[in-house]
């Protein structure tokens, strides 16, 4: 659905932010005066080049973009700036990936105004607002002031305040964008206070860190959350209070799934093709890399550990010895796994379904497809065996009974809906949904379109 609002600039006031410029340090800057495009620029669509002090894009199609290969974290507010020489040029920011236009904000200059919108998980563009600007001529210096504290951003064009919008995505990659061939850009800058925080040099703190939240697990009376951006797993209470942090010291990590039992916490690290095992004091005990191929998620029951990877399920005993590989060839790009009551459920992302297997012989007992598009997270309700599925493609969480019958769609209507739901847990009377950079809690059986808990 597309929502377009036309507003005259003189009809509303936006807090002036220009005074902040003098206090900012330059984090990234390119005036395109060099002979070739810098290697840090990653073209996504279109052919990008340097042309006499300009960045220029040509090609066929409707949307062109290139991103700068530096993840801008949400630890500080920052400013984006670009000088655009033709209508149709703009910027993209807070993109989840550096190689695709998905889950990101977008703005671009049109004749007589500025168009604002975003790309969703599927790469579909949604225009949220078009602002009419009288006498707008090129070149246009566009600035975006991203206020992390207040979760919003302001747009300024040729020193005129245009709009203040709510942030949908609060961190990620940024760069240039165009909706037509031949658009040129004179310069590009990213500025902020002090030095730029990067994931590899992130300083640990007693604060929750939610970036691209895709996996969660229960731990005693609270939750375990994974931050793949900075390579940490954090334990929080059921209402979001920070408890402790597990960090992986290796420079290159790609943390994914997490699970726990009374003795250990198990963390999947795809960069090392490994399962990392930590004791109750968050000390590393063992790193298992035997027979793992691009691991995604992990689940545990009373006797076994199940590691889901792209080729199937690797099964270990509680002494961390490999029992064997199971379910080979059943899934296409699987993402999540859960186990309960002798059953294993797998979010079969690539096939758009959830498969429920017998934990004894790994035969397929049930396939759930109803309303699913790209299921990512899956869990059982410990009370009755019901199945909950987080599906970022459908932008919803689905609830099925233990026989696979559809019960309800959870899709909050009061807070812009979900952003990109990928993790789901049921604990006592609550359903917790990991929604990209926040956790939403819903009380079971109480109008699940209205969350009762929101953790940032």
Contacts of 249 (CB under 8 A, 6+ apart): none
The predicted model gives 165-184 an average pLDDT of 95
Q: What is the pLDDT of residue 8?
A: 35
Q: Burial-class residue 165 by CB neighbours within 10 Å (0-12, 13-18, 19+).
A: middle
The DSSP bridge partners found for residue 327 are none
As a whole number of Å, the end-to-end CA separation of the chain is 26
CA distances from 314 to 91, 111, 350 (A): 43, 57, 19
Q: Which region among 86-90, 97-101, 245-249, 289-293 has the lowest average model confidence (pLDDT)?
A: 245-249
Q: How many Å apart are CA 332 and CA 37, to the nearest integer? A: 37
Give yes or no for residue 189 having a pLDDT over 50.
yes
Give yes or no for residue 7 having a pLDDT over 80.
no
Closest by Cα among 251, 276, 97 to 171: 97
Q: How many Å apart are CA 105 and CA 437, to the nearest integer? A: 15
Closest by Cα among 403, 368, 364 to 389: 368
Q: Burial-class residue 85 by CB neighbours within 10 Å (0-12, 13-18, 19+).
A: middle
Q: How many Å apart are CA 276 and CA 289, to the nearest integer? A: 9
User: How many CB atoms are closer than 10 A to CB 407?
Assistant: 12
Q: How confident is the model at residue 4 (pLDDT cuts 50, 70, 90)?
A: very low
Sheet holding 41-45, edge to edge: 6-8, 125-132, 113-119, 104-110, 89-95, 173-178, 64-68, 41-45
> What does 381-413 look like in DSSP terms, one character per residue?
-TTT--EEEEETTTTEEEEE-TTS-EEEEE--S
pLDDT digits (tens, 9 = 90+) for 304-339: 999 999 999 999 999 999 999 999 999 999 999 999
Q: What is the pLDDT of residue 203?
A: 63
Q: How many Å apart are CA 249 and CA 321, to the nearest integer? A: 25
Residue 199 three-state SS: helix
Residues 273-278: contacts with CB under 8 Å, at least 24 apart: 275/305, 275/307, 275/316, 276/248, 277/320, 278/246
CA distances from 397 to 41, 350, 407, 412, 449 (A): 36, 17, 11, 10, 10
Radius of gyration of the chain (CA): 23
Residue 258 three-state SS: strand
Closest by Cα among 89, 31, 97 to 67: 97
Residue 29 three-state SS: strand
Cis peptide leading into 139, omega within 30 of 0? Answer: yes
Q: How many Å apart are CA 74 and CA 72, to the nearest integer? A: 7
211 with 230: CB under 8 angstroms?
yes
**What residue ranges define each of the domains in the chain, with the CATH number in brackets?**
6-197 (2.60.120.560), 200-455 (2.120.10.30)
The predicted model gives 248-256 an average pLDDT of 81
Q: How confident is the model at residue 204 (pLDDT cuts 50, 70, 90)?
A: low
Q: How confident is the model at residue 61 (pLDDT cuts 50, 70, 90)?
A: confident
CA distances from 204 to 119, 222, 228, 232, 353 (A): 31, 21, 14, 9, 38
Instruction: Tell which wins on pLDDT, 447 or 109.
Output: 109
Q: How many Å apart are CA 146 and CA 354, to the nearest integer? A: 38
116 with 135: CB under 8 angstroms?
no
Give yes or no for residue 227 having a pLDDT over 50.
yes
């Amino acid at each position: 659905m597309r929502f377009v609002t036309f507003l005259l600039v003189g009809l509303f006031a936006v807090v002036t932010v220009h005074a902040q410029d003098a206090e900012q340090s330059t984090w990234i800057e390119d005036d395109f005066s060099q002979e070739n495009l810098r290697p840090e620029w990653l073209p996504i669509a279109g052919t990008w080049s340097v042309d006499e002090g300009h960045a220029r894009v040509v090609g066929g199609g409707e949307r062109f973009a290139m991103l700068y290969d530096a993840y801008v974290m949400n630890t500080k507010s920052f400013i984006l700036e670009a000088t655009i020489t033709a209508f149709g040029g703009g910027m993209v920011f807070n993109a989840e990936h550096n190689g695709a236009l998905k889950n990101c904000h977008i703005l671009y200059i049109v004749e007589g105004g500025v168009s604002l919108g975003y790309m969703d998980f599927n790469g579909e563009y949604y225009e949220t607002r078009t602002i009419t600007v009288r006498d707008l001529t090129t070149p246009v210096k566009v600035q975006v002031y991203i206020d992390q504290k207040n979760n919003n951003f302001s747009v300024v064009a040729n020193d005129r305040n245009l709009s203040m919008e709510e942030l949908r995505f609060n961190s990620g990659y940024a760069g240039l964008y165009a909706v037509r061939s031949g658009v040129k850009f004179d310069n590009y800058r990213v500025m902020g206070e002090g030095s730029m925080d990067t994931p590899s040099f992130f300083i640990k703190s007693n604060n929750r860190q939610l970036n691209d939240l895709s996996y969660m697990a229960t731990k005693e009376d609270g939750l375990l959350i994974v931050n793949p951006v900075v390579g940490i797993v954090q334990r929080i209470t059921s209402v979001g209070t920070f408890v402790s942090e597990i960090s992986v010291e290796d420079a290159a990590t790609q943390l994914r799934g997490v699970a726990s039992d009374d003795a250990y916490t198990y963390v999947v690290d795809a960069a090392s093709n490994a399962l990392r095992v930590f004791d109750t004091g968050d000390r590393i005990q063992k790193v298992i890399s035997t027979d793992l191929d691009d691991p995604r998620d992990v689940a545990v029951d009373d006797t076994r550990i199940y590691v889901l990877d792209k080729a199937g399920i690797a099964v270990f005993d509680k002494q961390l010895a490999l029992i064997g590989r199971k379910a080979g060839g059943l899934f296409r790009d699987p993402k999540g796994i859960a186990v309960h009551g002798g059953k294993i459920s797998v979010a079969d992302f690539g096939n758009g379904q959830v498969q429920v297997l017998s934990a004894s012989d790994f035969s397929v007992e049930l396939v759930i497809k109803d309303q699913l598009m790209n299921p990512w997270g899956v869990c059982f309700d410990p009370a009755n065996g019901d199945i909950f599925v987080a599906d970022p493609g459908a932008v919803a969480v689905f609830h099925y009974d233990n026989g696979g019958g559809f019960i309800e769609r959870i899709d909050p209507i009061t807070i812009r809906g979900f952003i990109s739901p990928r993790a789901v847990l049921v604990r006592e009377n609550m359903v917790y949904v990991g929604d990209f950079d926040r956790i939403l809690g819903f009380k079971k059986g109480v109008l699940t379109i209205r969350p009762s808990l929101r953790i940032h």
